[in-house]
Chains A and B, each alone.
Chain A
């Protein structure tokens, strides 16, 4: 598998005045192979959306690079860059409420990209919009309605159709399914799977539902306070988590089984995620880690391979329990 996307030491800080900055994404490196689905999970506020937006050029990069098919992407996109890369990469946004223009009809929202980037005429755009509405489980005649007439889950599907209609090679899906009921989730996941086969789609799939992430992803990356703490095959990370944060995360996943849930021991994590403005020294998880050691509070653990390093994408963990020195 060749890498389609190479994220190298990507940094995104937000200046918030008074010489303070939010360390939203702090030196993240990740490669995504062609036709690979990489799931990205982690604490709310850990920087998943920021990473996704920086990769597709919606945030300027503070540092580091993103390479697409061997070509380095601009650190700061000009309007023409979006135009040039619209069929390379797209993003499906987390918030189905604010990401759709309330004054445009659904047909205009979904078809806009085709007009702009493909120069298609009105009737060709309409046909394509109609077929995409059906592919995401809506109806062709929804085209003439406005976003506020749709429920949260229906709006999410409009956002999905808008991103996929351009048939991009790489898509960042930011919580594409969390507003959907499980049957529509299954429909969207199968659609993404099918597009992966038919158009060779590559995905960075951000979600909180770990069972679904395990199911759809080839590999899974776990983020905590701006950094990756664990990366590996989805099944391995889900069934044999190594990083203490991943263990707690996986242990908190509710199972759709009332008998099992009635006997669940509470695995509630203690303490709060530290402020991304004053990032602690050492391991970022140290103040909440049940296995914390002295060195964790002073030395920052690096993401290092923990198994077969000859593998193309070895399993990696950033934790002193796995440091080899």
Chain B
């Protein structure tokens, strides 16, 4: 496999609050390959946003604190840094699209000038050059009548157009990695489809890597090659998109798929949520983070954190069901050495 463009190792992030210290991210590791889309899924509150925000240096510190780990961008640790060799990491090397575009755009400046500004700051363009390029970028992002629209202000854009403007801004400096945190959650499915197509086109044209955070497993199925499943601040499973959808190796991943409605008019049974709630991150459990909710939990799960088992190349799960001496059979869980039928 090629050298990863981004390699995050053993990242841990805490927050001090009145109630105590929240261990939001507890030893997360993952790699992003050039030109690939990695999706991160997981229970809300499991630390997805905090993970990517701390890589980008966006975690408020205090109350936040990075207690361990590194994040190697082309081999150079960027954790806690804003620049490498005088170049900004954010905007320049890594672009970011936030869930709520309105809060990350300046309401008093027209859209074109906001995009132009990144080019002036990061690329030393003249004002005129930068604005012309901004119009091109808006056009690439499928904003109709880009020249006219560039002179408009954020409030004159619809939600879907703002999201596309954010993309134009995030890709202005041709970053090597684009991080998109729930980029289409607020949009209807037709605009969502336009934006996903746009991200795919940009990736094909520029070879950019994408880290995509989303709850929508349909979007994951459409976009991702690799998937990271997080639970309670940790990675519980990783694999190719087919591994994660067709060969689940962790009970939480299994539970996620069981909770989705099927598009079957006859299946009017109730949805199957995962019982219980995630652990208190003030006092994370000693063993498996999922054990209080897991239907297959054993004594060892309560006492000792499960190691990560390799099920096939690139497919790993942290669950005691994969231990060689486990005798509990869960037919829906995929194990190492089992045939892959595609």
Chain B residues 231 to 250 lying within 8 A of chain A, measured CB to CB, are 241-242, 245-246
Does B144 lie within 8 Å of A151, measured CB to CB? no
8 interchain pairs (CB within 8 A)?
A44-B187, A153-B43, A178-B215, A179-B215, A180-B215, A235-B265, A248-B190, A257-B245
Interface residues of A (CB under 8 A from B): 41-46, 95, 97, 137-139, 144-145, 149-154, 175, 178-187, 189-190, 193, 208-212, 214-215, 235, 238-239, 248-249, 252-261, 264, 266-269, 271-273
The one of A150, A190, A261 in contact with B273, judged by C-beta atoms closer than 8 angstroms, is A190
Q: Which of B18, B194, B260, B272 lies at the interface centre, i.e. has the most chain A CB atoms within 10 A of its CB?
A: B260
Q: Which residues of B contact A184 (CB under 8 A)?
A: 43-44, 273
Q: Which residues of B contact A151 (CB under 8 A)?
A: 44-45, 49
Does A149 lie within 8 Å of B17, measured CB to CB? yes
Q: Does B222 sit at the interface, judged by CB under 8 A? A: yes
Q: Which residues of B contact A46 (CB under 8 A)?
A: 188
Q: Does B220 sit at the interface, judged by CB under 8 A? A: yes
Tally chain B residues at the interface, Cβ within 8 Å.
Answer: 59
Q: Does B158 sit at the interface, judged by CB under 8 A? A: yes
Q: Which residues of B contact A181 (CB under 8 A)?
A: 41-44, 215, 256
Measured in the bound complex, the distance between the Cα atoms of B189 and A268 in whole Å is: 10
Given A144-B19, A145-B19, A183:B189 Cβ within 8 A? no
Q: Does B109 sit at the interface, judged by CB under 8 A? A: no
Measured in the bound complex, the distance between the Cα atoms of B100 and A212 in whole Å is: 22
Q: Which residues of B contact A273 (CB under 8 A)?
A: 158
Does B188 lie within 8 Å of A43, measured CB to CB? yes
Q: Shortest distance in angstroms between B97's beta carbon and chain A's nearest beta carbon? A: 15
Q: Which residues of A contact B103 (CB under 8 A)?
A: 97
A194: nearest chain-B partner, CB-CB: B270
Q: Top 6 A-B pairs ranked by shortest CB distance?
A: A153-B44, A254-B218, A186-B271, A186-B273, A215-B261, A256-B217
B181: nearest chain-A partner, CB-CB: A152
Measured in the bound complex, the distance between the Cα atoms of B41 and A191 in whole Å is: 23
A139: nearest chain-B partner, CB-CB: B277
Does B261 lie within 8 Å of A269, measured CB to CB? no
Chain B residues 270 to 284 lying within 8 A of chain A, measured CB to CB, are 270-274, 277, 280
A156: nearest chain-B partner, CB-CB: B44
Q: Which of A180, A184, A258, A268 lies at the interface centre, i.e. has the most chain B CB atoms within 10 A of its CB?
A: A258
Q: Shortest distance in angstroms between A209's beta carbon and chain B's nearest beta carbon? A: 7
Q: Which residues of B contact A266 (CB under 8 A)?
A: 193, 197
Convert B150-169 into 0s and 1s, putting 1 for each residue whose CB lies closer than 8 angstroms to a CB of A: 00000000111100000000
Does A44 lie within 8 Å of B189, measured CB to CB? no
Q: Shortest distance in angstroms between A137's beta carbon and chain B's nearest beta carbon? A: 5
Q: Which residues of A contact B245 (CB under 8 A)?
A: 256-258
Given contacts A97-B100, A254-B189, A258-B245, list 17 more A-B pairs with CB under 8 A. A43-B190, A43-B191, A44-B186, A44-B188, A149-B15, A153-B44, A153-B215, A178-B215, A181-B43, A182-B260, A184-B273, A208-B188, A211-B218, A211-B260, A211-B261, A238-B263, A273-B158
Q: Which residues of B contact A182 (CB under 8 A)?
A: 215, 217, 256, 259-260
Does B265 lie within 8 Å of A264, measured CB to CB? no
The one of A154, A268, A271 in contact with B44, judged by C-beta atoms closer than 8 angstroms, is A154
Q: Does B185 sit at the interface, judged by CB under 8 A? A: yes
B342: nearest chain-A partner, CB-CB: A259
Q: Shortest distance in angstroms between A144's beta carbon and chain B's nearest beta carbon? A: 7
A42: nearest chain-B partner, CB-CB: B188
Measured in the bound complex, the distance between the Cα atoms of B103 and A284 in whole Å is: 31
Given A153-B44, A256-B217, A190:B188 Cβ within 8 A? no
Q: Shortest distance in angstroms between A14's beta carbon and chain B's nearest beta carbon? A: 12
Q: Shortest distance in angstroms between B224's beta carbon and chain A's nearest beta carbon? A: 8
B252: nearest chain-A partner, CB-CB: A183
Convert B193-204 into 0s and 1s, putting 1 for each residue whose CB lies closer than 8 angstroms to a CB of A: 110110000000
Q: Does B303 sit at the interface, judged by CB under 8 A? A: no
Measured in the bound complex, the distance between the Cα atoms of B189 and A46 in whole Å is: 13
Q: Which residues of A contact B218 (CB under 8 A)?
A: 211, 253-256, 261
Q: Which residues of B contact A44 (CB under 8 A)?
A: 158-160, 186-188, 191
Given A184-B43, A190-B270, A272-B144, A253:B215 Cβ within 8 A? no
Does A45 lie within 8 Å of B144, measured CB to CB? no
Does A45 lie within 8 Å of B160, measured CB to CB? yes
Q: Does B216 sit at the interface, judged by CB under 8 A? A: yes
Does A208 lie within 8 Å of B189, measured CB to CB? yes
Does B271 lie within 8 Å of A254, measured CB to CB? no
Does B187 lie within 8 Å of A269, measured CB to CB? no
Q: Does B99 sit at the interface, judged by CB under 8 A? A: yes
